[in-house]
Amino acid sequence: MKGLPYFCRGEVIRGFGRGSKELGIPTANFPDSVVDHLPADVSTGIYYGWACVDNGDIHKMVMSIGWNPYYKNTKKSMETHVIHTFKEDFYGQILSVVMVGYIRPERSYDSLEALISAINNDIEEAKARLEVPEHMKLKEDNFFTASGSTSKSTGSTIMNGH
């Protein structure tokens, strides 16, 4: 996809509440203002990249973009799993992400266990893919250090390239 890497930022909102409770894999959800501004060439599926909450540390992440066929969502969503254990929820805080690459299309699963297994495989694949030098350098991008320029009151900032 020629639109990658893709940089975006927005306030973390409450999603369906399934990530932590049902799947054991917490996700941070972007508001419609971020989802609706995705470039046309960013298709639905599973992505990997880097994420930062407010001005905190930068961590590896996987993101699902789409309708989550297993749950038959009617609204497109962007759900980010930051590969890090946080002590508490961060609703209302600003999540900055850079989507680096694409793992696979979204698909439905016959069982919750199959979905959880697929997500865990995506996480392992993301961890490995992000170790290559060209992806590691994006972790140091000034997009993350400039995150203070977007306040919670302004909603979201969308950046594609610099």
- pLDDT tens for the chain, 162 residues long, are 678 999 999 999 987 666 667 788 899 999 999 999 998 888 999 999 999 999 899 999 999 999 876 666 678 899 999 999 998 889 999 999 999 999 999 988 899 899 999 999 999 999 999 999 999 999 999 999 874 444 332 334 444 444
Q: How far is CA 27 from the centre of its chain?
A: 8
Q: Are the CB atoms for 107 and 9 separated by under 8 Å?
A: no
Instruction: Determine the Cα–Cα distance for residues 48 and 145; give it in Å rounded to an integer.
Output: 20
Active-site entry in 11, 22, 79, 88:
79
- Tell me if residue 79 is catalytic: yes
Instruction: Determine the Cα–Cα distance for residues 89 and 113; give it in Å rounded to an integer.
Output: 24
CATH code of domain 6-159: 2.40.30.30
Q: How many residues are there in the chain?
A: 162
C-alpha torsion 28→31→33→36, nearest 10: 70
- Domain spans of the chain, in order of start: 6-159
Tokens for 110?
């016959």
